[in-house]
Amino acid sequence: MSRNLTSMTTLLELAERELTEAGERLAKTNQLITEAKAQREQLGTYRDEYVTRNQLILTSGMEVMDLLNYRAFLKNLDRAIIGQEQIVEGYSNLAKNHLALWQASQSKKRSYEVLIEREKLKMHHQELKREQKMMDEFSSNQKRFFPT
C-alpha cells in the first residue's frame, strides 16, 4: 500500500468519525425538537382544558379578583406557549445547521472514498504495467537465449 493511500485512508477514517458525530448531534437535536413540540402541545392542551373547565363559572358570574387571577393565569400560559414555540424554532434552526454540517461531512467522506478508489486504480494499472514489462523482458530473454 502506498504512503499516499495510507494517508487518504487515515483521512477517510477521520471523515467517517466526523460524519458519525455530526449524525449523532443531528439526531439529538431532532429529539429535542420532538420533546419541545410535545411540551408546547401539552401547554396548549392544558390551556384549552382550563378555559373549558372555567367556561361555566365565567358565564354564571365570577368575583372580580377571581376573574383577574383567571386572566393573569391565561396570560402566563400564553407566554409559556410562546416561549415554548421559540424554543422549538431555536432547535429547528440548530437542526438545520447540524444537517448542513452532516451533509458537508458526508460530502467530505465521499470525496476521500473517490480519491482512494482512484489511487487504488492507479496502483492497479501500475502493477499491470510492471507485470507486462516483466513478461516482455522474460520473453525477450527467452528469444535471446533460445533462438528459434
pLDDT (tens digit per residue) in 111-127: 999 999 999 999 999 99
Positive or negative torsion for Cα 46, 47, 50, 52:
negative
Q: How many CA atoms lie less than 13 Å away from 46 in the CB half-sphere? A: 13
Q: What confidence score (pLDDT) does residue 3 get? A: 81
> In the structure grid, which three cell numbers stand for residue 72, read together?
393573569
Q: What are phi and psi of 62, to 5 degrees?
A: -145, 145
Number of neighbouring beta carbons within 10 Å of residue 91: 20
Burial environment of residue 141 by CB neighbours within 10 A (0 to 12, 13 to 18, 19 or more): exposed
User: In the predicted model, is pLDDT for residue 136 greater than 90?
Assistant: no
User: In the predicted model, is pLDDT for residue 146 greater than 70?
Assistant: no
For residue range 67-89, what is the model confidence (pLDDT) as tens digits? 899 999 999 999 999 999 999 99
For the chain, the domains span 3-109
Among the four given CATH numbers 1.10.287.1700, 1.20.120.160, 1.10.443.10, 2.40.30.10, the one describing domain 3-109: 1.10.287.1700
pTM of the model: 0.75
